[in-house]
Structure 1
């Protein structure tokens, strides 16, 4: 059963949310996991793709957009995850990813901004009602 982690950032900044997604993707990739970043739309996927290029000056994260190369270790997209990805799903969309249950883990990154926080609460209830193991992590941010 998919383990679901909610990362609650003490910020309302959408930029910090994407930065934290990069951090989680890097950590998972460095441990040998394949990561799918489920974005709200193609624009967000392209923004995240750009952020991943310069995220760490001392390390390269092999990644791509789903529409360009879905076989890469880290993929950003806004639709169905690539078939080869089943380790970690990082959900940045406002809805539940349709195929989240085929992943070992899923991360929901939530900021203190109602358009992000309120749909995340609904997803939390959805997962809890279906018996998924849930963890919450309070993340203090500087921004």
Structure 2
């Protein structure tokens, strides 16, 4: 069953996502894969830019889930459900993690070992996130909560 990590109270949702990805990829083995679901194209583009400039002297290797390089890239940005589903089912990895930057339940999230939700303090982000948390809990998923205001990434 998918493990869910709810990182809430982020001052900046995208910066928290980049920080989480930086830490996770540092500890990853060669088979770990991180797929970001960003259905809002503006968010996907901003995140893409941030990943090219973080850390300041480098970058996190990533590409679009549509790219021909997707099979060999550890971090993918998916903007549609079909991109998300295809990469979840085709990846032969030890751990597939899904980072949700959408405000709805990510499609086919059960295919992933881990689901990470980064939640900012904004009402339009927090309220739908509460509904998703309730859904995950009601479905029996193991949920861990991390208050980013008390314990930053």
Bin for the TM-score computed over the shorter chain = 0.7 to 0.9
Change (3 A) 1:18 1:3: same
Alpha-carbon displacement from aligned partner over 1:5-27 (angstroms, at most 9, x marks no partner): 1001253xxxx210111111122
TM-score by length of structure 1 reads 0.87
What runs of 5+ residues in structure 1 fail to find an aligned partner? Answer: none
Q: 2: CA distance between counterparts of 1:114 and 1:49?
A: 25
**Deviation (angstroms), 1:35:** 0.3
Q: Provide runs of 4+ in structure 1 moved above 3 Å.
A: none
- Determine whether 1:106 maps to 2:105: no
Q: 2: CA distance between counterparts of 1:6 and 1:87?
A: 17
**Deviation (angstroms), 1:53:** 0.4
1:138 is aligned to: 147
- What's the RMSD between the two structures over aligned residues? 1.9
Q: 2: CA distance between counterparts of 1:112 and 1:9?
A: 5
Q: 1: CA distance between counterparts of 2:23 and 2:3?
A: 17
What runs of 5+ residues in structure 2 fail to find an aligned partner? Answer: none
Partner SS, residue 19 of structure 2: helix
Q: 2: CA distance between counterparts of 1:43 and 1:7?
A: 22
**Deviation (angstroms), 1:59:** 4.2
1:41 touches 1:77 (CA, 8 Å); kept in 2? Answer: no
